[in-house]
């Protein structure tokens, strides 16, 4: 009897196990799925309500884990640049030479044959020719170098050419009287065309100007008394060397001749033939700059300033 009744009634263990499984599933659903499903499936349901239902804090209230600091990079040493070198002050510009005292000239210039000209007009019948332009250019070049100079513009060879030197001697005396400071007297001439002699110094480059070559004439005592003519010669030779230093080929020669050419008046008297009738006026004027520079050196060498 007992064994038959047991078989009719199933044991209670199976229902209990089933109930336990259902309860566990319900707990899982309540804790994990309900917060995600309710806000999206039920209108008016919020995370806060889900938290109230589930007892779990919403994700928004859960503090984020602290950010980890990035690992330190390689240590960078401070870089110091050397201080900039102080700008060097530009050297002061050389002071401009003081304007020469024209009341105390060192060079006196004149033209015995004032009417002489160049290729454009070899001679003027009415007054000064282009040779005076060269003489005036020399004066300007000297003044630009700080050498005070004067130029006599008196026409000495019109109307009487044969009286030229007598007339220019009077001008020399007057200049010496008016300007006792003069150390060098220069008589500027233009030579006639010389057969076989080129009086044009061709410029080395197109940027330069052609020049009229120079000849220094020194008088002697062959025809008239001139006891100190060798002093004039020494002066001319010294100047000739300086001219060549300034411009190679500019000097034709230093020539001694039989006349005095008024050089007996003073050991500082010079006669310079500036080119010939083969030259232009511009070539004659272009030669005055190196001539002036040579005269500046000559005066400096003699301690004259």
In a domain, 15, yes or no: yes
In a domain, 65, yes or no: no
How many C-beta atoms lie closer than 10 Å to residue 49's C-beta?
15
* HSE value, Cβ hemisphere, 13 Å, CA-based, for 121: 13
CATH of the domain at 148: 3.40.630.40
Residue 201 pairs with which residues in a beta bridge? 211
In a domain, 162, yes or no: yes
In a domain, 181, yes or no: yes
Assess whether 239 and 172 both reside in one domain. yes
Domain count, the chain: 2
In a domain, 99, yes or no: no
Which ranges of the chain have pLDDT less than 50?
A: 1-7, 33-35, 37-54, 57-83
- What tens digit of pLDDT does each residue of 228-277 get? 999 999 999 999 999 999 999 999 999 999 999 999 999 999 999 999 99
CA distance 156 to 191: 17
In a domain, 80, yes or no: no
Cis peptide before 159 (omega within 30 of 0): yes
- The pLDDT value recorded for residue 103 is 84
- The pLDDT value recorded for residue 101 is 77
In a domain, 296, yes or no: yes
pTM score > 0.75 for this model?
no
- What tens digit of pLDDT does each residue of 157-180 get? 999 999 999 999 999 999 999 999
The residue range of the domain holding 7 is 2-59
How many C-beta atoms lie closer than 10 Å to residue 293's C-beta?
19
In a domain, 131, yes or no: yes
Assess whether 137 and 22 both reside in one domain. no
DSSP string, 72-99: P--------PPPPPPPPPPPPPPPPPPP
């Amino acid at each position: 009897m007992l064994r038959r009744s047991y078989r009719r009634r199933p044991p209670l263990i199976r229902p209990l196990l089933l109930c336990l499984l259902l309860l566990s599933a319900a707990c899982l659903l309540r804790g994990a799925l309900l917060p995600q499903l309710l806000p999206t499936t039920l209108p008016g349901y919020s995370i806060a309500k889900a938290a109230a239902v589930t007892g779990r804090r919403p994700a928004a209230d859960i503090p984020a884990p602290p950010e980890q600091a990035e690992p330190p990079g390689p240590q960078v040493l401070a870089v110091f640049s050397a201080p900039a070198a102080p700008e060097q002050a530009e050297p002061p510009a050389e002071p401009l030479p003081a304007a020469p005292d024209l009341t105390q000239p060192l060079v006196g210039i004149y033209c015995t044959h004032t009417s002489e000209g160049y290729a454009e007009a070899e001679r003027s019948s009415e007054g000064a020719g282009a040779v005076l332009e060269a003489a005036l250019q020399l004066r300007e070049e000297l003044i630009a170098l700080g050498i005070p100079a004067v130029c006599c513009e008196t026409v000495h060879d019109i109307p009487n050419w044969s009286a030229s030197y007598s007339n220019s001697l009077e001008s020399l005396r007057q200049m010496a009287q008016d300007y006792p400071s003069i150390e060098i007297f220069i008589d500027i001439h233009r030579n006639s065309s010389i057969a076989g002699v080129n009086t044009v110094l061709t410029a080395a480059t197109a940027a330069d100007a052609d020049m009229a070559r120079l000849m220094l004439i020194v008088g002697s005592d062959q025809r008239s008394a001139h006891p100190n003519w060798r002093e004039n010669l020494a002066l001319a030779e010294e100047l000739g060397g300086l001219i060549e230093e300034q411009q190679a080929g500019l000097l034709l020669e230093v020539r001694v001749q039989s006349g005095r050419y008024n050089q007996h008046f003073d050991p500082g008297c010079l006669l310079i033939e500036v080119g010939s009738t083969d030259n232009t006026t511009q070539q004659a004027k272009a030669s005055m700059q190196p001539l002036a520079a040579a005269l500046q050196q000559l005066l400096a060498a003699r301690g004259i300033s």
